[in-house]
Amino acid sequence: MTDWTPYTARATDWFRQLRDAICAEFEAIEREAGSDAAFEYTPWTRAAVEDEQQETGGGTRGLMKGRVFEKVGVNISAVSGGLARDFAATINGASAEQNAFSATGISLVAHMANPHVPAVHMNTRFLTTTKAWFGGGADLNPPIPYEEDTADFHAAFRQACDAHGEGYYERYKAWADEYFYIPHRKVHRGVGGIFYDHLECDDEAAWEANFAFTRAVGETFLAIFPRLVRRRMGMAFTPADKATQLEWRGRYAEFNLVYDRGTLFGLKTGGNIDAILMSLPPEATWS
C-alpha cells in the first residue's frame, strides 16, 4: 500500500500557494475600488471525533469583507484521523472498520456587493482512505446572469479540461449541472462550471497526472474570475437588482445547508464551524 504522506504534503503546499495568490489578487481588486480591505486569517485545530484521543491537524480560515467583496472566505485545511463510524461508509474507500482518513484542500466562496458581479465557489482537495483521490471544481453563481460571463467562464475551464483528459469538460460540466441543483426548488444554483470527485490515484503516475489537473483548475479560476469581477464591479445597480440578489442568496444558502457534501464532510470530521459555514451569504431574503 502506497504511503501517501509526502504526496499529501505536496498537495497541501500547493493549496497554500494558491490561497496566497488568490487572496493577493482579491485584495488588489479592493485597492482598485479605493478600499483598504484585507484578509484576516484565523487558525483552527480539528476536534477529535468518536474514540480518538487527540485532535489531528487543522487549517486556516481567511475572511475579507470589503467594498467589492461583500464577504469572501478562502480556507485551507489539512486533517487526518478517524471518520465517525456511521459516516465512514459514505466515503470512498472507507468503512466502519477501516475509517482512517486524511484530507487536505482549499475552499473558496465569494459573495459580491454589486449584484451584477457573480458570486463564485471553488474548491480542490486530496483525500486518502484505503484509496486516494482528488476532487474539486468551480461554479459561477450570478444573481443577474450575463451570457458573456457564462461563456468566458466555461471556455476557460473547457481549455483546462481539454489539456488533461479527453472528455473531461463534458463529463465534469454535466456532473456540476447535476450536483449544483436544488431539487425542492427545481432550479440550478447558478450557471454551472465543472465538478469532479474520486479521481483516483492507483500509483505515482496517476497521482502526478491528477495533481496536474487539480492545479490547472485552481490556476484557471485565478485567471478567469478576477476578470469577470473587474468587468462588472463598476456597474450601477438599482434596489430591484439588490432585491434579486438577496432572494437568490437564499437559494444558495438552502443548497449549502441541505445538499452540499462539503458542508456535511466538514461537520462530520471535526472541522471548524465558522470555516465550514463561511459559504453562507452575509445577508439573504426569503419571500
**Residues designated catalytic:** 121
Helices 204-232 and 5-32: angle between axes, nearest 10 degrees:
10
Phi then psi for 2, rounded to 5 degrees? -70, 135
Q: DSSP code of 233?
A: T
Question: 138 near 120, Cβ under 8 Å?
Answer: yes
- 3-class DSSP state for residue 182? strand
Residue type, 89: A
Q: Are 263 and 256 in contact (CB under 8 A)?
A: yes
Q: Which residue has the cell 483521490?
A: 133
**What is the spatial distance between Cα 184 and Cα 187, in angstroms, rounded to a whole number?**
8
* Strand, helix or coil for residue 51: coil
